[in-house]
């Protein structure tokens, strides 16, 4: 009888280890992917610049166009529903805050929250140090910073880590 209990206990312990190890690997994989997506989203949001201002030497982003591009890039790369985007633009802080719902079959299970903050000649005297949680970036030229929060990772154990949150920044360069 004791052997049966020992076998069951050993089986449960091993399965717990295996499942947690799998979840850890899957989460790491998600973080790497999310890093790439954050970079691409930031790059997309600085694609467009006001030509008339630029002709006068002032670099100001086309916010609305950049946000549209960023939304499209983020939704496709994170397999989320572009029609579910709910965004709020605050002109004073040049910050766009939005949420988007992941599609079925996605690693992400919670609502994705993201912010895009623009730093350009209309609101910034460089240099500026941007800080948000563990993401810190020194800004010396017109830049967009993207922070994406994909919610709780898919851990089946009770020791669920905090939300997965990553940041990326891209600086506009004249050509």
Partner 1 sequence: MKQIIILIVTIQIIFFFPLQAILDKQNHYKMTNATTIVFTHAQKARIEGRFTPEIKTKMLEELAKYFPRDEIEYTLTEIPKYRLPHYDEGEKIHFEVIVPIKKLLVLGNFWGISNEENKLGYKIDGVVSSELLPR
C-alpha 68/C-alpha 116 separation (Å) is: 11
> Per rule CB under 8 A, is residue 76 in the interface with partner 1?
yes
> Per rule CB under 8 A, is residue 120 in the interface with partner 1?
no
> Per rule CB under 8 A, is residue 6 in the interface with partner 1?
no
3-state secondary structure (DSSP) of residue 106:
coil
CB of 125 to partner 1, least distance (A): 27
Near partner 1 by CB under 8 A: residue from 58, 59, 60, 77: 77
Q: Are 6 and 14 in contact (CB under 8 A)?
A: no
How many residues in the shown chain lie near partner 1 by CB under 8 A? 29
> Per rule CB under 8 A, is residue 36 in the interface with partner 1?
yes
> Per rule CB under 8 A, is residue 60 in the interface with partner 1?
no
Selection from 125, 116, 111, 121 nearest residue 46 by Cα: 116
Near partner 1 by CB under 8 A: residue from 65, 84, 99, 123: 65
> Per rule CB under 8 A, is residue 29 in the interface with partner 1?
yes
Q: What are phi and psi of 39, to 5 degrees?
A: -60, -45
Selection from 32, 16, 28 nearest residue 153 by Cα: 28
> Per rule CB under 8 A, is residue 47 in the interface with partner 1?
yes
Near partner 1 by CB under 8 A: residue from 38, 73, 116, 145: 73
Beta bridge partners of 136: 131
Scanning 60-68, 113-121, 123-131, 149-157 for contacts with partner 1 by CB under 8 A, the matching segment is 60-68
> Per rule CB under 8 A, is residue 138 in the interface with partner 1?
no
Selection from 72, 80, 53, 70 nearest residue 146 by Cα: 70
Helix (H), strand (E) at residue 7: helix 2-45
CA 21 to chain centre: 24
Interface residues with partner 1 (CB under 8 A)? 14-15, 17-18, 21-22, 25-26, 28-29, 32-33, 36-37, 40, 43-44, 47-48, 51, 62, 65, 68-69, 72-73, 76-77, 175
């Amino acid at each position: 009888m004791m052997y049966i209990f020992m076998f069951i206990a050993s089986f449960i312990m091993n399965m717990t280890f295996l499942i947690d190890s799998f979840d850890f690997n899957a989460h790491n994989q998600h973080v790497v992917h999310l890093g790439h997506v954050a970079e691409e989203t930031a790059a997309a949001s600085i694609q467009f610049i006001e030509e008339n201002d630029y002709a006068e030497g002032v670099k100001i982003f086309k916010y609305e166009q950049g946000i549209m591009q960023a939304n499209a890039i983020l939704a496709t790369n994170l397999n989320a529903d572009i029609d579910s985007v709910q965004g709020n633009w605050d002109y004073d802080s040049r910050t766009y805050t939005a949420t988007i719902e992941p599609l079925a079959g996605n690693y992400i299970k919670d609502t994705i929250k993201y912010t895009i903050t623009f730093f350009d000649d209309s609101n910034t005297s460089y240099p500026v140090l941007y800080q948000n949680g563990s993401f810190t970036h020194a800004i010396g030229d017109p830049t967009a910073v993207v922070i994406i929060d994909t919610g709780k990772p898919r851990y089946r154990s009770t020791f669920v880590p905090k939300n997965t949150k990553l940041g990326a920044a891209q600086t506009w360069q004249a050509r």
